[in-house]
Structure 1
Amino acid sequence: MKKNYLLLVLVIAITFIGGIITGHYFSTNNEHSKSMNIQKVTKSTLKPQTKKLPNVKKTSSKVLIGYVQDYRDPNIVDYSKLTHVIFSFAHPTKDGGLLLNGDTALSNLRATVTNAKKHDTKVMLAIGGWFHIKGGESYDYFKPAISNPTSRTRLVNELTRIADREKLDGIDIDFEHPRSKADAQNLAAFTKELSTQLHAKNKELSIAVYSKIHAQTLTEIGFVEYEPSMFVDVDHVNIMAYDGQWDGGYHAENLSPFPFTEKIVTYWTHLFETYKIPTEKLVLGVPLYAQPADPKIKQVSYGAIINQNPANANGDTVNMNGTTYYYNGEATMKKKTKLALDCNMGGMMLWEAGLDAQGARSVTSTIYDVLEASAKEPVKYYSVKKN
């Protein structure tokens, strides 16, 4: 009993002494920890260096594409506001060859690439167009080139080679116009083959298309045919929503009025939705030239209209050279751009950038500002209401 009592006292003593030692240890370390936490750095020993901002490529969700003809001075184009420049035109031969309009065209192409790269603007080469370098319509050369599998493949290879050699970002197809089911199928086959080659090299493919709407009656035109599946293979579908002045006789005012454009947008967006093709591929084209009431008088550029009087940007008609000219002024261009945005299209296209005015009254600037303002609109968040 006594031994048990002594043993109990010993255990209690050891436990008490151990507690004192442990408490002292944690108290000391806690004070050390507190002293470390309240230390302040009075002056940084790091010396930050000033660095240049990174060269970030354009990431606009909407495109602004400007066609530029091969004889234009490459220095007049406002590359800073364009996402793409389409150099126009390369000409097909019946056996699948490729022609440029002499050394001047090649020199201008290379200067365009150099200028565009300074602004991270992409450069594409258009093949086709309305007129051929050898005279007559380009259709008479383009059709046989893509109708035969051998010449078709040759043309695809020629275009891929020049895109690589000249450091281009892609190719634009401007076949005006497929006029039969066979034409539509051959164009689709050509597009698919070219798409396969270009996309493998991370290059783009676009195609210019006829409006498909009669400017006078505002009804669908059937003499131009497209194979809808073809549009899956391209990145941009550039709608030529202009040149309605020849529909139903000559009516200069039908060049590209807003109601005409509305019908075109409705037609193409409905077509793409029907075939479940993203409407963001659609690019709405606008004219940068004016159509004279007198067909014997030549068209004039938008730049010439603004040079005569900058206030002409505020209207859609002007009297010059003894006749009335019809065009799209600032208000109409803004309205068309908003229409494209509201219909979830991919952006806007200019025919052609070389016809534009210089400076703040340019169509390029007008459309660019609308696209930029749209991109900066705040994101809207919606809450889900629970029942």
Structure 2
Amino acid sequence: MVPRSQSWFCPCSCITGSSDSEQEYHQQQPDISRPPPHSQDNGHEMVRPHDGGRKYMNGVYYPSWLVYKGKTPATLDIDNITHVFYAFIGVKEDGSLRWIDEHADVVKDVDGEKGALAALAKLKRNHPRLKTIVSIGGGTASKEFPALAANSHARETFAKQAREFCDRHELDGIDIDWEHPKNAEQGRDYVKLLKACRRAFPEPNYLITTALPVGQYILRHIDLDAVSRIIDYLNLMAYDFTGSWTKVCGNHAQLRSPGTRLQSTHPELQACATDGVDYILSRGFPSRKIVLGIPAYARYFPRAEGPGCSTEKAGEMDYCDIPDEWVREAVVDEAAVAAWYVDANGDKGYLTFDVPRTVHLKARFAMQRGLGGLFYWTGTGDKGEGLSLVAAGRRGLESS
């Protein structure tokens, strides 16, 4: 959620009926030997040449519901983006796909096309090196995954319908955003689901990615070595470390844990991206397939004046909605690689968010550790000009 989600409705003219009727119809099984109707570039390491030709992902999630706010695919900062993850499409327990918001996906007029999916396909045609991926699941559309993944027939149905969906909408692959396998049995079924998808999405013409959190409480249930042999990228959701669910507030997307006395008192504040990366690497996962997540949104705590304070009435706001001066005046902790601002005269209190400097440092970390790059939840939450997080990430990934 991936990343954060909202409450929406239901996907695809290649799978299921409308969210109103819930009436399905089955499509012809895709010809797996047939290449997709778009570029056959591998795309596994996509971006701009650097360090002897090495390339990186600088990808963004695109939430389809933002078409209602005028943030269409055409508004994305395409010059700084390599991959777009279209969020979200839902599933049913029998493996069939379902719309979350059919009107936004295929009905509403968007960038001169019918629906955001067609608008994204148009963007790809105009920028052939762009890789587009449909993200399936998300925070409010994952509850069907356990039953789906536990059933072999449902897994095959899912893989076939997802392939047909991608071919129909000119997409390069799928992102499995099951939030999250909760025990060892679900972890095993998760790997089986990925294997079924790989059979339906042959390399190198299609990409398979998955989104997972940094916490070992989830990762320990998954055979990460097996996963690494199936997928192209693991999108590591390195954010939401604190919020209304934690006892006290702190940096919600820190790269490292600074190990202060406060963190000793409140262990939940020790969560950091580096621990997640190190754990995944320790399980035999290749570094080049790990992509580090950047939040293009802040978490705020109205009753707080800094880390360790109350999380009462905590909320979130998109980075693009944060006043520019707050971004410029934010305190940057270069040891933790985190930033914050205190709205002393307003109603937001303590805000924790990334700024261009922290994103640049995270990009440098990704390079030093040999990671596959960065992704952002979301591309539509970014600012323009000199305060862009996506542009800062690209510069950091390309710097020598």
Given the two structures, how large is their TM-score scaled by the length of structure 2?
Answer: 0.70
1:317 and 2:317 are equivalent in the alignment: no
Deviation at 1:329, TM superposition (A): 1.4
Is the contact between residue 228 and residue 286 of structure 2 (CA under 8 Å) also seen in structure 1?
no
Which of the two has greater helix per residue? 1
| Distance (Å, rounded) in 2 between the aligned partners of 1:331 and 1:58 | 21
Q: CA deviation at 1:71?
A: 1.4
Q: How many equivalent pairs are there?
A: 304
CA distance in 2, matches of 1:234, 1:223: 16
Which residues of structure 2 form unaligned runs of 5+?
A: 1-45, 50-54, 67-71, 107-114, 258-269, 303-311, 333-338
Instruction: Give 1:102's aligned residue.
Output: 102
What is the alpha-carbon distance in structure 1 between the residues aligned to residue 330 and residue 79 of structure 2?
Answer: 21
One-letter amino acid matched to 1:202 = N
Q: What residue number does 1:171 align with?
A: 174
Deviation, structure 1 residue 90: 0.5
Partner of 2:371: 345
Please give the residue correspondences for 1:122-161 in structure 2 after superposition, counting only pairs within 5 Å.
Answer: 122-132=131-141, 138=142, 140-161=143-164
Matched, 1:249 2:246: yes
Report matched runs for 1:1-387 at 5 Å: 59-60=48-49, 61-72=55-66, 73-100=72-99, 101-106=101-106, 107-119=115-127, 120-132=129-141, 138=142, 140-200=143-203, 202-212=205-215, 220-221=216-217, 225-228=221-224, 229-246=226-243, 249-260=246-257, 263-269=272-278, 271-272=280-281, 274-275=283-284, 277-294=285-302, 295-307=312-324, 311-312=328-329, 315=332, 316-318=339-341, 319=343, 320-373=346-399, 377=400
Structure 1: distance between partners of 2:204 and 2:232:
14
8 Å Cα contact 1:269-1:279 kept in structure 2: no
* 1:43 aligned partner: none
SS of the equivalent of 1:202 reads: coil
C-alpha separation between the residues in 2 aligned to 1:262 and 1:141? 28
| DSSP 3-state at the match of 1:114 | helix
Q: Report the Cα distance in structure 2 between the residues aligned to 1:332 and 1:200, rounded to whole angstroms.
A: 35
- TM-score after normalising by structure 1: 0.73
Q: Aligned partner of 1:195: which letter?
A: R
Q: Which moved more, 1:162-171 or 1:301-310?
A: 301-310
Q: 1:332 to 1:65 in 2, by over 3 A?
A: same
Superposition RMSD in Å: 2.4
Measured in 2, the distance between the counterparts of 1:181 and 1:231 equals 17
- C-alpha offsets along residues 154-182 of structure 1, whole Å, 9 cap, x if unaligned? 11111000001111011001011101111
Indicate how the Cα distance of structure 1 residues 146 and 71 shifts in structure 2: closer, same or farther if over 3 A, else same.
same
Q: 1:108 to 1:248 in 2, by over 3 A?
A: closer
Three-state SS of the structure 2 residue aligned to 1:189 is helix
Which is higher, the Rg of structure 1 or of structure 2?
1
Whether the aligned pair in 2 keeps the contact of 1:89 and 1:125 (CA below 8 Å) is: yes
Sort the Cα spacing of 1:222 and 1:96 in 2 relative to 1 into closer, same or farther, 3 A. closer
Higher relative contact order (Cα pairs below 8 Å, separated by 6+ residues): 2
Going from structure 1 to structure 2, the CA distance change for 1:252 and 1:346 (only over 3 Å counts) comes to same
Question: Aligned-pair distance for 1:70?
Answer: 1.1
Distance 1:187 1:65, change over 3 A: same
Work out whether residues 184 and 226 of structure 1, in 8 Å CA contact, stay in contact via their aligned partners in 2: yes
Distance 2:288 2:297 in 1: 26
Taking a change above 3 Å as real, the CA distance of residues 223 and 204 of structure 1, as seen in their structure-2 partners, is closer
Q: CA separation in 1, counterparts of 2:252 and 2:392?
A: 20
Asked if the contact 1:269/1:343 (under 8 Å) is kept, the reply is no
Give, in angstroms, the shift of residue 368 of structure 1: 0.9
Pair 1:222–1:362, CA change in 2 (3 A): closer
* 2:12 alignment counterpart: none
- Kept in 1: contact 2:360–2:395 (CA 8 A): no
Q: % of aligned pairs identical?
A: 21
User: 1:80–1:121: 8 Å Cα contact kept in structure 2?
Assistant: no
The separation in 2 between residues aligned to 1:170 and 1:222, in whole angstroms, is 24
Letter in 1 for 2:96: G
Give CA deviations for 1:60-110 in whole Å, capped at 9, x if unaligned. Answer: 411111111111222221122111000000001111111221121231122
Q: Tell me the distance in 2 between the aligned counterparts of 1:175 and 1:309.
A: 34
Q: What is the alpha-carbon distance in structure 1 between the residues aligned to residue 78 and residue 124 of structure 2?
A: 6
- SS of the aligned residue for 2:242 comes to helix
Show structure 1 runs of 5+ residues with no match. Answer: 1-56, 133-137, 213-219, 378-387
Q: Distance in 2 between matches of 1:104 and 1:90?
A: 11
